[in-house]
Amino acid sequence: MEITDLINLESIVPDLKASSKKQVLQELAHHAEKVVPKGHHEILDVLLERERLGTTGVGHGVAIPHGKFTDLDRPYGLFARLEHPVDFDSLDDQPVDLLFLLLVPETAGADHLKALAKVSRTLRDKAVCDKIRGSESGDAIYAILTSSSSSSHAA
Closest CA to 96 of 108, 111, 107, 81: 81
Bridge partners of 12, per DSSP, are: 79
Catalytic residue (one of 30, 41, 60, 66): 66
Task: State yes or no: is 66 an active-site residue.
Answer: yes
Q: Cα(146)–Cα(133) distance, rounded to whole angstroms?
A: 15
Q: Are 113 and 106 in contact (CB under 8 A)?
A: no
Give the largest Cα separation in the chain, rounded: 38
Catalytic residues: 66
